[in-house]
Amino acid sequence: MNTILKDRYKILQTIAQGGFGETFLAEDTHMPSGRRCLVKQLKPINNEPQVYQLVQQRFQREAAILEELGRISSQIPQLYAYFESDGQFYLVEEFIEGETLTAKVQSQGIFSESQVRAILMSLLEVLIYVHSKHIIHRDIKPDNIILRQPDGLPILIDFGAVKESMGTVVSPSGNSAQSIVIGTPGYMPSEQAAGRPVYSSDLYGLGLTMIYLLTGKIPQELDTDLLTGETRWRQYALNISPTLGLVLDKSIQPHLRDRFLTATEMLSALQNQTTPVPSTIVSPPIAAPATVVTAAPTASTVMQPVSSRQGLAEWQKAIVTGSIIGSFLLAALLVNHYLTTSKNDPPSPPISQETPPEPSPIAVSPTPITSPNAVAPSPTFSPQETFEPTPEPSYIAPSPLISQAEAVNLIERWQTAKREIFGSNHAIYLGDEFLTGKAYHENIRRTDGQESSSEWLLNNGSYYQYGVQSVDSVQNLASSGNQAILEVVITEERTLYDSNGNIDYTASGFDTRLVRYYLQLENGQWKISDYQTIKVIREN
At 19-42, the pLDDT tens digits run 678 899 999 999 999 999 999 888
Listed in order, the ranges of the chain carrying CATH 3.30.200.20 are: 1-95
Give the residue with greater pLDDT, 199 vs 167. 199
Q: What is the pLDDT of residue 331?
A: 55
How far is it, in rounded angstroms, from Cα 140 to Cα 79?
19
CB distance 393 to 311 below 8 Å? yes
Q: What is the pLDDT of residue 377?
A: 35
**What average pLDDT does this structure show over 253-263?**
92
The catalytic position among 139, 202, 249, 511 is 139
| CATH architecture of the domain with range 98-166+184-273 | Orthogonal Bundle (1.10)
Query: What does CATH list as the number for 1-95?
Result: 3.30.200.20
Listed in order, the ranges of the chain carrying CATH 1.10.510.10 are: 98-166+184-273
Count CA atoms within 13 Å of residue 427 on its CB side.
Answer: 25
- pLDDT confidence tier of residue 147, bands split at 50, 70 and 90: very high
Strand partners, 306: none
Residues 6 or more apart whose Cβ sits within 8 Å of residue 132? none
How far is it, in rounded angstroms, from Cα 240 to Cα 288?
36
Taking 90 as the threshold, does the pLDDT of residue 127 lie above it? yes
CB distance 497 to 463 below 8 Å? yes
448 is catalytic: no
Listed in order, the ranges of the chain carrying CATH 3.10.450.50 are: 404-538
Stretch among 163-177, 390-404, 429-443 having the lowest mean pLDDT: 390-404
pLDDT tens, residue by residue, 309-349: 344 445 445 444 555 554 554 554 454 444 444 433 333 33
Find out whether the peptide bond into 150 is cis, omega within 30 degrees of 0: yes
Calculate ∠ Cα 372-374-378, nearest 5°: 145
Give the residue with greater pLDDT, 20 vs 189. 189
Q: What is the pLDDT of residue 397?
A: 37
Q: In what order do the strands lie in the sheet with 145-148?
A: 98-100, 145-148, 154-156
Q: What is the pLDDT of residue 448?
A: 79
**What average pLDDT does this structure show over 149-164?**
86
Position 180, amino acid: I
**What average pLDDT does this structure show over 247-267?**
94
Q: Shortest CA distance to 410 belongs to which of 377, 439, 389?
A: 439
The CATH number for 404-538, chosen from 3.30.360.10, 3.10.450.50, 3.30.450.20, 3.20.20.80, is: 3.10.450.50
Find out whether the peptide bond into 278 is cis, omega within 30 degrees of 0: no
How far is it, in rounded angstroms, from Cα 75 to Cα 418?
28
- pLDDT confidence tier of residue 170, bands split at 50, 70 and 90: low
How far is it, in rounded angstroms, from Cα 507 to Cα 415?
17
pLDDT tens, residue by residue, 345-366: 333 334 444 543 333 333 333 3
- pLDDT confidence tier of residue 181, bands split at 50, 70 and 90: confident
Q: What is the pLDDT of residue 321?
A: 53
- Report the percentage of the chain scoring pLDDT > 90: 44
- pLDDT confidence tier of residue 446, bands split at 50, 70 and 90: confident
Q: What is the pLDDT of residue 523?
A: 82
Taking 90 as the threshold, does the pLDDT of residue 249 lie above it? yes
**What average pLDDT does this structure show over 77-81?**
94
pLDDT tens, residue by residue, 95-114: 999 999 999 999 999 999 99
**What average pLDDT does this structure show over 461-483?**
88
CB distance 141 to 205 below 8 Å? yes
Q: What is the pLDDT of residue 145?
A: 97
Q: If you average pLDDT over every residue of the chain, what do you get?
A: 77
